[in-house]
Structure 1
């Protein structure tokens, strides 16, 4: 805090100095678009494939109002199991191309597994006065999805170890 009767005198400004240096664009971007562009493209393509497959499941297996959302549950569990297998294979077995993980893991499986629909299903059940079903669905999906990843990854590692003998 300043004493009461002091005047603040601004410092002289150099006219050649940029008054807003932080507003300038950095000389070099950390990850140029030419490196990130292919990643964005394969994630988008994979996401379109995965979301289309999930949508096909929802068309083929509709859920009655107030009913348990079995299709979403099994899509999420199956997708998580595939993620468990895939991550072991590309981490321990294959020397995968740098775009394989974004395409299949983030794109296809991220589009196929549908935790946003899971949240909407829970809200729909609560709004439909089915709180016990919503809670059962919430817990069952979480437990089965995590168990699917763990079991699939461990089973894949065991199969790979067994085949190497």
Structure 2
């Protein structure tokens, strides 16, 4: 898990360096969290369809799911970005950003689950 977390955090760090914010909005964090939610939904569903959470599947879940995607996605940076938006003259933008992140993130994870369910075959 620790190694996976380090990899995921490094990938997020590099993306945050190369992806610009637009109009004062923390879009890169938004996109990273949505991608992570989608991939995690897909990964967990795909693993579950292949059998019990044991052996190699458990190692993949812990390394890639808990570790990499846990390090890749970031609640703390999301919270700081949302707080920064609250401190501007338009706090409603911060509220909209926070709500959109949660709702679109949930939809992204469901989309990942649906994609894996359509492609997967139970072992």
Q: TM-score range by the shorter chain?
A: 0.7 to 0.9
Higher relative contact order (CA 8 A, sep 6+): 2
Per-residue deviation, 1:94: 5.4
Aligned length: 119
**C-alpha separation between the residues in 2 aligned to 1:61 and 1:97?**
33
Residue 134 (str. 1) matches residue 94 (str. 2):
yes
**C-alpha separation between the residues in 2 aligned to 1:85 and 1:153?**
5
Secondary structure at 2:58's aligned position in 1? Answer: coil
Secondary structure at 2:21's aligned position in 1? Answer: coil
**C-alpha separation between the residues in 2 aligned to 1:116 and 1:152?**
23
Match of 1:111 among 45, 53, 71: 71
CA contact (8 A) 2:5 2:66 kept: yes
Residue 159 (str. 1) matches residue 119 (str. 2):
yes
**C-alpha separation between the residues in 1 aligned to 2:101 and 2:35?**
11
Secondary structure at 1:51's aligned position in 2? Answer: helix
**C-alpha separation between the residues in 2 aligned to 1:84 and 1:130?**
33
**C-alpha separation between the residues in 1 aligned to 2:19 and 2:8?**
17
Secondary structure at 1:99's aligned position in 2? Answer: helix
Q: Which has the higher helix share?
A: 2
**C-alpha separation between the residues in 1 aligned to 2:45 and 2:4?**
19
Residue 44 (str. 1) matches residue 12 (str. 2):
no
Per-residue deviation, 1:61: 1.2
Per-residue deviation, 1:134: 0.5
**Higher Cα Rg: structure 1 or 2?**
1
Which residue does the alignment assign to 1:57? 15
**C-alpha separation between the residues in 2 aligned to 1:100 and 1:159?**
19
Secondary structure at 1:121's aligned position in 2? Answer: helix
TM-score scaled by length of structure 2? 0.87
| Structure 2 portions without partners, runs of 5+ | none
Match of 1:93 among 34, 50, 54: 50
